[in-house]
Homo-oligomer: A and B are copies of this chain.
Amino acid sequence: MTTAADAPLSPPHSAATETLADLSEGAVLARIFPRLPTASAQLLGPGDDAAVISAPDGRFVVTTDMMIQGPDFRLAWSSPHDLGWKAAATNLSDVAAMGARPTALVVAIAAPPSTPVSVLEGLADGLRDCCEALAPGCGVVGGDLSASDALTLVVTAFGDLEGRAPVLRSGARPGDTVALSGRLGDAGIGLELLFRLGVDSNGVPDLARANALKLTHPTEVAAQLTPVPPIASGPIAALGGATAMLDVSDGLAIDAGRIARASGVGIDFDSSCLGERIEVALGGGEDHGLLATFAPDRVLPPAFRRLGTVVAVSASNWGAITVDGVSHDQGGWDPYRGWDGAAG
């Protein structure tokens, strides 16, 4: 692990024009680390070969997620702050989906040497602001920097189960209530708007047009670029008896299918619970809500609303998703098929 303590003394530079190539790796880290939040669980932070984190119940939850310029984001649409925020939010959501409280992150960033240092400062600020807003006490305990043609963020997040069993995808039982904390469909609409209207006449992502969209469709664009997953709902659901749970990252139908497949059941959505745009609710990706199942006699925890019911199906139909009893086909995003190679 590269650490700020490795930083040699560096001469003063003009902050406005500095690039990563103007500074040493250590000096860049020395600029970033003070902007990052300290984790309450940090026993040893940046400055050595590795960090040491507290795991009070003798276990820790871990997840990792990459965001790469091109397939995962475009710099014309997302500010550095947006990217830092989203990289934290998506990982925090995976931790919360186990019923755990997020405790710490490590962050690996690769960027072209020509990148202004201010871009990395913006990423750090986004990481910090997301942790402070969604998971107070969670902080960044270490990281690594490298060079690459495509800006790349890799966040690994940790969580504390606080003595509870993790909430798996496999625990849903027929009769359970299917419920969601979070929004449905806005992020998918935001992405569709950006690809349709946030581009110039050649289809290239365009800053001015994206900014216009942020004014005309603030909810949808923000849901896509700076999601606010209901992190606190994860531990609340676990305490409230959730039998299964996951982060809705690829669309409600696909992710519900994952719970259903892992649990050996089907899930039937009640169309009256899916709003006026049912296909959008079922298909929109990157919602980052928490989808959970609860025994039928349980009162749903705060922030969760009923969407449907877990149903018994034959083994050949495990994972089946229906709406009012009618079969629903699942699509989905795949980075190797869905990316057109562009990175603007």
- Contacts from A to B (Cβ < 8 Å): 1-2, 5-6, 19-21, 23-25, 28, 43-44, 47-68, 70-72, 93-95, 97-98, 100, 104, 106-108, 110, 113, 141-150, 152, 154, 156-159, 161, 166, 168-169, 245-247, 258, 261-262, 334-337, 339, 343
Known A-B contacts A98-B48, A142-B64, A337-B24; A56 and B58 likewise in contact (beta carbons under 8 Å): yes
A69, chain B: closest CB distance, angstroms = 8
The answer on a CB contact under 8 Å between A97 and B50 is yes
A64 to B169 CA separation, bound complex (whole angstroms):
28
Residues on B with beta carbons closer than 8 Å to the beta carbon of A168: 44, 48
With beta carbons under 8 angstroms apart, the residue of B23, B54, B157 that contacts A58 is B54
Q: How many copies does the complex hold?
A: 2
A113 to B70 CA separation, bound complex (whole angstroms):
12
Residues on B with beta carbons closer than 8 Å to the beta carbon of A52: 59-62, 98, 161, 166
The answer on a CB contact under 8 Å between B66 and A60 is no
A112, chain B: closest CB distance, angstroms = 9
The answer on a CB contact under 8 Å between A63 and B23 is no
Residues on B with beta carbons closer than 8 Å to the beta carbon of A245: 49
The answer on a CB contact under 8 Å between A66 and B144 is yes
Residues on B with beta carbons closer than 8 Å to the beta carbon of A337: 21, 24, 113
The answer on a CB contact under 8 Å between B113 and A62 is no
